[in-house]
Structure 1
Amino acid sequence: MQNKSANWFKQVAQRAETLGQQRLRVGVTGLSGAGKTTFITSLINQLENHGKGLLARRAPFDRLESVRWQRENVEQPFPYLDALAALSSVPARWPDSTSDLSRVVIDLRFRPQGLLRKVQPVRQVRIDILDYPGEWLLDLPLLQLDYGQWCEQMAQWLEQEPRRSLAGELRQTLLNIDPAAPADAAQLAALKDAWTEFLLRCRRDAGLSRNQPARFLQPGSGVAEQMLQFIPLLRANRHSSESDSSWFSVCAARFNYYRDYLVRGFYDEHFRHLDQQVLLVDMLGPMDAGEAALADLRDAMEAVLSSFDYGRSGLLARLLRFRPRIRRLAFCATKVDKVSPEQQRSVQQCLEDLMLDRLADVRHGGVEVLGLPLSAIRATRQEGENLVAGLEGQEGWVRYRPGSIPAHLPQSLQLNSPELLPLRPPPGLHRSEPFPHYRMDDLVAWLIEGAQL
Structure 2
Amino acid sequence: MAAMKKPQWISELQRQAAGLGGQHLRIGVTGLSRAGKTTFITGLINQLENHQRGLLARRAPFDRLEAVRWQRDGVEQPFAYLDALAALSAEPARWPASTTDLSRVVIDLRFRQTGVLSRLQQYRTLRVEILDYPGEWLLDLPLLELDYGQWCEQMRSWLDSEPRRSIAGALRDELAVIDPLSPAEPQRLQQLAGAWTAFLQRSRSEAALSRNQPGRFLLPGAGVAPEMLQFVPLLAGNRHIRAGAGSWWAECEARFRYYRDFIVKGFYDEHFSRLDRQILLVDMLSPMDAGQTALTDLKAALESVLQSFRYGRNSLWRRFWQPRISRLAVCATKVDQVAPEQQRAVQQCLEDLLTDSLSEVRHGGVQVRGFPLAALRATRQEGDTLVAGLEGQSGLVRYQPGGVPAHLPLDLQVEGPELLKLRPPAGLHRNEPFPHYRMDDLIGWMVEGVAL
How far apart are 1:241 and its partner, in Å?
0.9
Q: Secondary structure at the match of 1:330?
A: strand
CA contact (8 A) 2:379 2:386 kept: yes
Q: With structure 2 as the length reference, what TM-score do the two structures score?
A: 0.93
Partners of 2:20 and 2:172 in 1: how far apart? 57
Change (3 A) 1:412 1:56: same
Listed one character per residue, the Cα deviations across residues 265-286 of structure 1 (whole Å, up to 9, x for unaligned) are 1110112221111110000010
Report if the CA contact (8 A) 1:311-1:327 is conserved.
Answer: no
Between the aligned partners of 2:117 and 2:22, the Cα distance in structure 1 is 19
**Match in the other structure for 1:378:** 377
Q: CA deviation at 1:52?
A: 0.3
Aligned twin of 2:419: 420
Report if the CA contact (8 A) 2:150-2:239 is conserved.
yes
Aligned to 1:358: 357
Distance apart, 1:261 and its partner CA: 0.9
3-state secondary structure, aligned to 1:306: helix
Question: Match of 2:225?
Answer: 224
1:236 to partner: Cα distance? 1.1
Residue deviations 1:79-116 (CA, integer Å, cap 9, x gap): 00000000000000000001111111011010111234
Q: Could you tell me how far apart the structure 1 residues matched to 2:184 and 2:19 are?
A: 55
Q: CA deviation at 1:188?
A: 0.7
CA shift, 1:17, in A, is 7.0
- The 1:427/1:438 distance shift into structure 2, 3 A limit, reads same
Q: Give 1:142 deviation, angstroms.
A: 0.3
Q: Report how far residue 45 of structure 1 moved.
A: 0.4
Match of 1:96 in 2: 97
CA, structure 1 residues 44+175, in 2 after alignment: closer, same or farther (shift >3 Å)? same
How many residues of Structure 1 are paired with residues of Structure 2 in the alignment? 433
Alignment of 1:196-275 (within 5 A): 196-275=197-276
Q: Secondary structure at the match of 1:25?
A: strand
SS in 2 for 1:118: helix
Structure 1 pair 311–301 and aligned structure 2 pair: CA distance change class (3 A): same
On the 8 A contact 1:24/1:125 being kept in 2, the answer is yes
Change (3 A) 1:18 1:200: farther
Cα distance in structure 1, aligned partners of 2:136 and 2:182: 32
C-alpha spacing 1:255/1:107, structure 2 compared with 1 (3 Å):
same
Kindly report which structure 2 residues correspond to 1:138-149, keeping only aligned pairs within 5 A, or say none.
138-149=139-150
**Match of 1:391, SS?**
coil
Query: Aligned residue for 1:445?
Result: 444
Q: CA shift at 1:354, angstroms?
A: 0.2
Contact 2:306-2:358 at 8 Å conserved across structures: no
> How is 1:176-195 mapped onto 2 (pairs within 5 angstroms)?
176-195=177-196
CA shift, 1:452, in A, is 3.1
Residue aligning to 1:291: 292
**Is residue 309–residue 361 contact of structure 2 (8 Å, CA) maintained in 1?**
no
Q: For residues 9-24 of structure 1, what are the structure 2 equivalents within 5 Å?
A: 20-24=21-25
Q: Quick check: 1:311–1:325 contact (8 Å CA) kept in 2?
A: no
Specify every segment of 5 or more residues in structure 1 that has no aligned partner in the other structure, as ranges.
1-15
Partners of 1:403 and 1:312 in 2: how far apart?
44
In the superposition, relative to structure 1, how do residues 240 and 322 fare at CA in structure 2: closer, same or farther (>3 Å)? closer
SS in 2 for 1:128: strand
Distance 2:200 2:107 in 1: 36
Match of 1:79 in 2: 80
Instruction: Describe how 1:337-352 pairs up with structure 2 within 5 A.
Output: 337-352=336-351
Amino acid aligned to 2:220: P
Q: Describe the superposition over 1:188-210 as per-residue Cα deviations: whole angstroms up to 9, x where unpaired.
A: 11111111111011100110000
Q: Deviations over 1:224-267 (max 9, x none)?
A: 11111100000111111121110001111111111111100111
Give how far 1:121 is off: 4.5
Residue 394 of structure 1 is matched in structure 2 by: 393
| TM-score, length-scaled by structure 1 | 0.93
| Equivalent residues of 2:273, 2:323 under 8 A apart | yes
CA contact under 8 A between 2:272 and 2:321: conserved in structure 1?
no
1:322 Cα deviation after fit = 8.1
1:336 matched residue in structure 2: 335
Q: CA deviation at 1:327?
A: 1.0
- Per the TM alignment, residue 366 of structure 1 is displaced from its structure 2 partner at its CA by 2.2
Aligned to 1:8: none
Matched, 1:135 2:107: no
Q: Distance in 2 between matches of 1:266 and 1:342?
A: 41
In the alignment, the residues of structure 1 paired with residue 97 and residue 29 of structure 2 have an alpha-carbon distance, to the nearest angstrom, of 17
- Change in 2 beyond 3 A, CA 1:322/1:154: closer
Query: SS state of the match for residue 446, structure 1?
Result: helix
CA distance in 1, matches of 2:20, 2:312: 26
1:173 has 2:174 as partner: yes
Alpha-carbon distance in 2 for matches of 1:416, 1:206:
16
Which deviates further from its counterpart, 189-198 or 322-331?
322-331
Q: Tell me if the contact between 1:389 and 1:397 (Cα under 8 Å) persists in the aligned partners.
A: yes
SS in 2 for 1:221: coil
Structure 2 portions without partners, runs of 5+:
1-16
Show structure 1 runs of 4+ deviating over 4 A.
16-19
Structure 1 segment 317-332 matched on structure 2, within 5 A: 323-332=322-331
Q: For 1:76 and 1:324, locate their aligned partners in 2 and report how far apart those are by CA, in whole Å.
A: 24
CA distance in 2, matches of 1:41, 1:229: 35
* Identity fraction in percent: 69
Q: What's the secondary structure of 1:186's corresponding residue?
A: helix
The CA distance in 2 between the partners of 1:164 and 1:184, in whole Å, is 25
Please report how far the alpha carbon of residue 18 of structure 1 lies from its aligned counterpart in structure 2 after TM superposition.
Answer: 7.3
Query: Which residue number corresponds to residue 433 of structure 2?
Result: 434
The letter of the residue matching 1:413 is L
User: For residues 150-180 of structure 1, what are the alpha-carbon distances to aligned partners after superposition, in whole Å with 9 as ceiling and x for unaligned?
Assistant: 1011001111111111111111100000000
Report the counterpart of residue 164 of structure 1 in structure 2: 165
- Asked if structure 1 preserves the Cα contact closer than 8 Å seen for 2:310 and 2:364, the reply is no
1:153 maps to 2:157: no
The corresponding residue for 2:7 is: none
Distance 1:373-1:322 versus aligned 2 partners, 3 A rule: closer
1:156–1:312 Cα change, 3 Å: closer
